[in-house]
Structure 1
């Protein structure tokens, strides 16, 4: 069996189950991409971008916590604290890759719990204002989950490029590892 395992989805039905399944699948692909990294590798830049694999993990964990908070607090006066984002993509000297991975797992579990508990995916949630969104908007929980799925897919692409430049690991090859059908594939 390859490194890619079946996605476990909480005991919910309908559209929530479908959305949580795709969200979990995107996270699982991302986790495959960042598996087996050393602390040094997690901090290493491999492209002209400032992005690192550890920084992407930290950012996605922060985003999951933030989304869970926006849904539960429903603050009609919220403004995004830009200072909170200053090091959102950076593993700081006092942070470890192991710790941000643990936070990633905890934050994504917390977000899933919030999605499960929300009465309806149609609930409208006030979004914090930000420099790029100065007017208050309201989004459904459904749209917020879809935005998270898009964000995971977006950053999974970043992570795959960074990882391949780092040590040659290709996520498609990694998830196919050990599969008979994959032996004949050239993933490069």
Structure 2
């Protein structure tokens, strides 16, 4: 049986909750590992046909994890109202994917660590992983769907793994270093 201790609690976490924390931790590690030894400038470089950069991916995954944890706790009101997004909202969203003037890789990684600790604490202490919330209206969500906390957390694991793969390709294009394989 897997036993872990969530960062903000000294209570051992076992079973499914431990598995979720370990799965999240593994994927977060792969994403963070792709940034090892980089300067802020390197973290902001686009190295493929994509507009993605390593620092931007860390910023994006931080935002995604934060929003989904807010959804678990607050329901649709914890997420942006996608139905009324303005051009300004879209531009702010695009800024998640790049390093802006004043952004640092260290700052992005610190923010990611804070969000990760909050998520791990939630996984350890949430009364019911089966508790559901209705998804907000958005073209990419099934109308009327509800997601359990468990499903949201599995989605965050998948999103993190997906972007860690992107990061690995970007890093290999940057300087030949790889985090996976």
TM-score (norm 1): 0.80
Structure 2: which 5+ residue stretches go unaligned? 7-11
* Residue 134 of structure 1: how far off its partner (Å): 6.8
CA distance in 1, matches of 2:138, 2:101: 28
Q: Secondary structure at the match of 2:63?
A: helix
Q: Secondary structure at the match of 1:74?
A: helix
* CA contact 1:42–1:53 (8 Å) conserved in 2: yes
* Residue 77 of structure 1: how far off its partner (Å): 9.2
* 2:67 matches 1:59: no
Q: 1:142 aligns with which of 133, 139, 150?
A: 150
CA distance in 2, matches of 1:75, 1:162: 33
CA distance in 2, matches of 1:167, 1:8: 35
Map 1:111-122; keep pairs closer than 5 Å. 111-122=119-130
Query: How many residue pairs end up in the alignment?
Result: 167
CA distance in 1, matches of 2:105, 2:66: 18
CA distance in 1, matches of 2:78, 2:20: 28
Map 1:17-166; keep pairs closer than 5 Å. 17-75=18-76, 79-80=81-82, 82=85, 83=89, 84-133=92-141, 135-166=143-174
* CA contact 1:76–1:127 (8 Å) conserved in 2: no
Q: CA RMSD for the aligned pairs?
A: 2.2
CA distance in 1, matches of 2:114, 2:171: 23
* CA contact 1:67–1:111 (8 Å) conserved in 2: no
* CA contact 1:53–1:163 (8 Å) conserved in 2: yes
Q: Secondary structure at the match of 1:156?
A: helix
1:8 to 1:36, Cα distance in 2 relative to 1, 3 A: farther
What are the superposed Cα offsets for residues 25-57 of structure 1, whole Å, 9 maximum, x if unpaired?
111121111111101110001101000000000
**Could you tell me which residue of structure 2 aligns to residue 16 of structure 1?**
17
* CA contact 2:171–2:177 (8 Å) conserved in 1: yes
Structure 1: which 5+ residue stretches go unaligned? 1-6, 173-186
TM-score (norm 2): 0.83
